[in-house]
Structure 1
Amino acid sequence: MSAPTDRHAALHASFRWQVPAQFNIAEACCGRWARRTPRAVAIRWQRENGERGSLSYGQLQRQANRLAHALARRGVARGDRVAIVMPQRVETAVAHMAVYQLGAVAMPLSMLFGPEALEYRLRDSGARAAIVDESAIANLRAARPACPALACVIAVGQATGQGDMDWAPALAAEPDRHDPVVTGADDPAVLIYTSGTTGPPKGALIPHRALIGNLSGFVCSQNFFPQDDAVFWSPADWAWTGGLMDALLPTLYFGRPIVAYQGRFDPERALALMAEYKVTHSFLFPTALKAMMKAVPEPRQRFRLRLRAVMSAGEAVGDAVFAWCQQALGVTVNEMFGQTEINYIVGNCTRSLDAQGRLAPGWPAKPGSMGRAYPGHRVAVIDDDGRECPRGTPGDVAVHRLDVHGQPDPVFFLGYWNNPQATAAKFTGDPADSWCRTGDTAVMDADGYLWYQGRSDDVFKAAGYRIGPSEVENCLVKHPAVANAAVVPKPDAARGAVVKAYVVLSPGFSGDTGLVEALQQHVKGRLAPYEYPKEIEFIDALPMTTTGKVQRRVLRLQEEDRARAATAGR
């Protein structure tokens, strides 16, 4: 058997992408299993009130067929965008399968988005239809008057009666057989909006083939998923890349069951769910792991866990959580790094398969490291001119269009929706032979492990959520009391960072606690709850460049200095 440190090179050397010219996510994740194993469980679901059930692959396909007919009857065709604004529930998975087999484009949107956040994305995408449940129907209805392209709203669950058609009767009226549209691997499948530091959020257009591009990372980060009894669960919202591309779709691709929990995250409830449903594989972001560690320090004394692998991403896990996972959960957490545009490119894999198909060591995880390039991806740290940096030198993490064998890497997005300038700026070099910059700075060590240094721009993560400062700042400035604002992360031991806003007041306003609460509610009511500033500091003027740009970096460093001083003073 090869030494653990040799498995990484061996896996890269033997790996080859196999991307068919024609490929459709719905066929790969549902259609073929509905024919081969129609009674196999696709989704085990549970609501916060304890109600539960399951859905087979055959049932998932039949419901998707009915919804596809209902959408087509309402004019949805190839290339049309369909917003899906729902939590982890069966209807969310059905909606994705129906949209893909129509050749349309699924646009997952968080149920936490407020009216303004929804309005921008619906307008910018020109979404033709939206499928929404009670968690977001009020905000969607408030946004709809400004979205002329939105021709149909399908109401689900307790939202019944508040849309143009209701889910249950609409599907009941349609046949359960449907001839799917033939799509190419390069055809668009998903449109996910990602926050930027300048300007409004950008829509990343993801092709069908990107699912294939994610598979090597998914398999490796889950210690060679699947085994026959594999069951997956993650609290990650299916509206985000982490929940959709790192949990729901790859689990269904392998024909295994995924648990859908429709409720708020609670650390004890999470452990109970994993025990009850015999979960073997999971994606748990660092914030969730920290909460579990604090709430239940010794989980295996209370819960019978069957975990074989845990992947974590979004921010650094840290030594304490890393050690707790090994000792308390019995697994070495595999950290992963990626982004919406090019997901699942770097990470760890503590178990792999040898030449005889037996489980063997993968490559060892180094606590605090992002990991190494997953098979099929050529990853480097590059400088401003697109040249690879010497080992140990900080630079921009980038992925090459071609893998180590010179073949096209299928993980790449198609581009930003209606934003060719931003798309072009993402790449360095000739289009056919170029690096895609992630915007994250890291150092690569002698063994090829990446060590995160920070964002090249000002996007940051708070409690696992990606925060684009400009959207929050724009919302704050709409309040009459705010003349200008800058949003930065404030270090926080429990959540990694919290959102902090520096606010310059308009004349005639006083920065008191009442105004702080008013500004927080102002943001909460328009954007997602996790985007509102947990702390607001009023200042006379923001630090600016000579060209009039806010220097967020100055404020970020100030917060870091304050955090260090506070720690030293304890």
Structure 2
Amino acid sequence: MNDAATAAATATAAAVSSPEPTRSGYADGFARANLPPRELWPDFLFDLPELRYPERLNCVAELLDKGVERGWGERTALTGARETLSYAALLARVDRIAHVLRQDLGLATGSRVLLRGANCPMMAACILAVIKAGCIAVPTMPLLRARELGAIAAKARVNAVLCAASLCGEIEALELGGAPLVCFDSEQPHGLEARMTAYDEPFAACDSAADDVCLISFTSGTTGIPKGTMHFHRDVLAICDCFPRHTLGAKIDDVFIGTPPLAFTFGLGGLLLFPLRVGARAVLIEKLTPETLLAAIEQHRATVCFTAPTFYRQMATLAPQFDLSSLSRTVSAGEALPVATREAWQAATGLAMIDGIGATEMLHIFISAAGDAVRPGATGKPVPGYVACILDEAGGQVGPGVIGRLAVKGPTGCRYLDDPRQRDYVRDGWNLTGDAYEMDADGYFYYRSRLDDMIISAGYNIAGAEVEEALLRHPAVAECGVVGRADPERGQVVEAHVVLRPGHAASSELVQALQEFVKQQIAPYKYPRAVRFREQLPRTETGKLQRFKLRADTA
């Protein structure tokens, strides 16, 4: 048995399945009252010394206040399109906002604050202030509409809203039950900036418990029905002390940049929490295209980039036009990284991609590899602090070479906000991500498909991701998504939705050429029997392909 399998097999014995709760620091008990029953929690692992946090903990005080105490006050913390903040200036702003929340708005500790804004220093400061004040941050994506925001606000029973002035329209359309709306990036007399001027004294961080909820993140909706995931103060520090410390190798002179929104846990970690943990700088830019991201990397001399595979694929063709010599690490997550995209990016930049799988339920990346440990085609190995294995349909662990359900344990884990789907995600202490994976004899994990994306055609199991990987190697294909379409004879057939590169036109001849191209690369029975050309693919704001919309669109 390899090391990874051994670790997974013994994880249950080392896990803390339901540690006794500590005294909450919150007056409002909504969050604890709506955690799942403790028997439905996953097991937690705190084996690494750096994961043994004190019982009383405010993660923002640990990240920001202590950073200034360490002497980082004059270092640049955040750079935006219109302003740059040092660590000391960021701390002062966070403290002023915290005073507004607790004094002007009269929010009790444990209150939920919905946040809405694009990536910028003010949005980052608002998130940090909510948590430091002892409230619970509920960040939301800038592109969400009133109906979607209303569902989130109702589920989390929000007590206040902090929103960028340019995005207040959708919020104003909501019935918030008396919860105040305060706009930032605003010159209004009752806007956040105006309120902040009344306060210039430090704010004493809330005496919160390590297991008080500080963040409710809603899933990005790849399955159509978002869920609220609840995370503790200790969870926020745990993700900072696992992937960026042991795999990414984050350091004080790094400059972080990327596209994921701060409302998405991939972006919250990679573009705010991880840099703060080590005293580094983050560049927060509101709207980025592949070309403007490359220009920003060049301008700010960024060293670490976080974005989705789709962006890397598009940037690869543009990379030679920019000076990317400062860039040393590029992280891909959010969806599976095709080998073709990895190869194109490395050919263009000389950088071996750091692939990773994370989940909103787990807060950030838990399987990855970097540097010499990268194995093309594999996501990687469990990040230190986590263990993983493959389970069969009966819940038993299987060995190398068998495709099954990916299961993971670590210092973070799934706790849905009042949602019966908790029983589906956590089984026997394991977090089940919904991904089909395969492990090799060396303990590397290989993505095969989402479990609900496995196509069964004429008795064959076909992973849509494998067909996508083959199609992406064709010079005419810019993007593609593969799903199963119901078929009376075969049960399902493989259907490819294809976006073409400029200069290529949809035709029956191209359909046949793509089908033959796939047959030459993978087993012929996997080829797409149906090909549909599209102007664009449906994606979430975080860049994830919404295959459920492709399935709904099959005819």
TM-score between the two structures when normalised by the length of structure 1: 0.71
**Aligned-pair distance for 1:35?**
2.7
Whole-angstrom distance in 2 between the partners of 1:141 and 1:92 = 19
Report deviation, 1:7. Answer: 13
Alignment of 1:403-442 (within 5 A): 409-413=410-414, 415-419=415-419, 421-429=420-428, 434-442=429-437
Match of 2:134 in 1: 103
Deviating above 6 A after TM superposition, structure 1's stretches of 4 or more consecutive aligned residues are 5-10, 196-199, 553-556, 560-564
SS at match of 2:259: coil
Q: Which residue in 1 is equivalent to 2:237?
A: 212
Task: Indicate the SS of the match to 1:39.
Answer: coil
Q: Indicate whether 1:61 and 2:85 are aligned.
A: no
Q: Aligned in 2, Cα 1:568/1:459: closer, same or farther, shift over 3 Å?
A: closer
Alignment of 1:298 onto 2:307: no
Per the alignment, residue 528 of structure 1 pairs with: none
Query: Match for residue 228 of structure 2?
Result: 203
- In structure 2, the residue matched to 1:406 is none
Q: Paired residue for 1:452?
A: 447
1:43 to 2:78 alignment? yes
The partner residue of 1:246 within 264, 270, 281 is: 270
Cα distance, 1:221–1:209 mapped onto 2, change above 3 Å: same
CA distance in 2, matches of 1:8, 1:156: 50
Q: How far off its partner does 1:556 sit?
A: 7.9
The Cα shift of 1:341 comes to 0.8
Deviation at residue 389 of structure 1 after TM alignment: 1.2
The alpha carbon displacement at 1:543 in A equals 8.6
> Partner residue of 2:181?
153
Q: Matched residues in 1 for 2:172 and 2:333: separation?
A: 34
1:329 to 2:324 alignment: no
Deviations 1:472-504 (CA, angstroms, capped at 9, x unpaired):
xxxxxxxxxxxxxxxxxxx8843443999x9xx
What SS does structure 2 have at the residue aligned with 1:132?
strand
**Runs of 5+ consecutive residues of structure 1 not aligned to the other structure:** 47-51, 351-360, 401-408, 461-490, 503-541, 545-552
* Paired residue type of 2:418: N
1:302-332 alpha-carbon deviations (Å, 9 max, x no partner): 4153111111012233233322333322321
- For the structure 1 residues 494 and 24, does the alpha-carbon distance in structure 2 shift closer, same or farther, using more than 3 Å as the test? farther
Find 2:359's aligned residue among 336, 339, 345: 339
Contact 2:218 2:227 in 1 (8 A): yes
Maintained 8 Å contact 1:35/1:58: no
8 Å CA contact 1:220–1:349 kept in 2: the answer is no
SS in 2 for 1:345: strand
Structure 1 residue 21: deviation in Å?
2.0
- Render the CA deviation track for 1:14-69: whole Å, top value 9, x for unaligned: 954332222222112211123332211110111xxxxx331011111111111111
* Change over 3 Å in CA distance of 1:269–1:195 after alignment to 2: closer
| Aligned residue type for 1:26 | V
Partners of 1:198 and 1:367 lie apart in 2 by 28
Q: Could you list the per-position Cα deviations for residues 408-458 of structure 1 after superposition, in whole angstroms to 9, with x for gaps in the alignment? A: x32224x11122x322332222xxxx2111111111111111111211236
CA contact (8 A) 1:383 1:396 kept: yes
SS at match of 2:236: helix
How is 1:7-86 mapped onto 2 (pairs within 5 angstroms)?
15-16=48-49, 17-36=51-70, 37-46=72-81, 52-73=82-103, 74-86=105-117
Q: Which residue of 2 aligns with 1:567?
A: 514
1:355-434 → structure 2 map (5 Å cutoff): 361=372, 363=373, 365-400=374-409, 409-413=410-414, 415-419=415-419, 421-429=420-428, 434=429
The 3 A distance-change label for structure 1 pair 398 and 165 is: farther
Q: Distance in 2 between matches of 1:131 and 1:499?
A: 39
Instruction: Tell me, yes or no, if the aligned pair for 1:281 and 1:310 is still in contact at 8 Å.
Output: yes
Aligned AA (2:515): A
Q: Residue in 2 aligned with 1:356?
A: none
Deviations 1:328-362 (A, max 9, x none): 22321110001011121101121xxxxxxxxxx5x
Q: Does 1:233 align with 2:257?
A: yes
Q: How many angstroms does 1:91 deviate by? A: 1.1
1:172-183 equivalences under 5 Å are 172-183=197-208
RMSD: 3.3
From the superposition, tell whether residues 495 and 236 of structure 1 become closer, same or farther in structure 2 (CA, over 3 Å): farther
Instruction: Tell me if structure 1 keeps the 8 A contact 2:115–2:137.
Output: yes
Normalised by the length of structure 2, the TM-score is 0.73
Determine helix, strand or coil for the equivalent of 2:284. strand
Q: Is the 8 A contact 1:77 1:102 kept in 2?
A: no
Q: Which residue of 1 aligns with 2:283?
A: 259
Deviations 1:186-243 (A, max 9, x none): 1111111115687842100111111233232123442x111x4211111111111110
One-letter amino acid matched to 2:140: L
**Count of paired positions:** 444
CA–CA separation in structure 2 for the residues paired with 1:385 and 1:70 = 52
Match of 1:274, SS state, is helix
Q: Which stretches in structure 2 are left out of the alignment for 5+ residues?
A: 12-45, 456-470, 499-507, 518-555
Are residues 7 and 278 of structure 1, via their aligned partners in 2, closer, same or farther at CA, if it must alter by over 3 Å? farther
Change (3 A) 1:188 1:398: same
Deviation of the 1:291 alpha carbon: 1.3
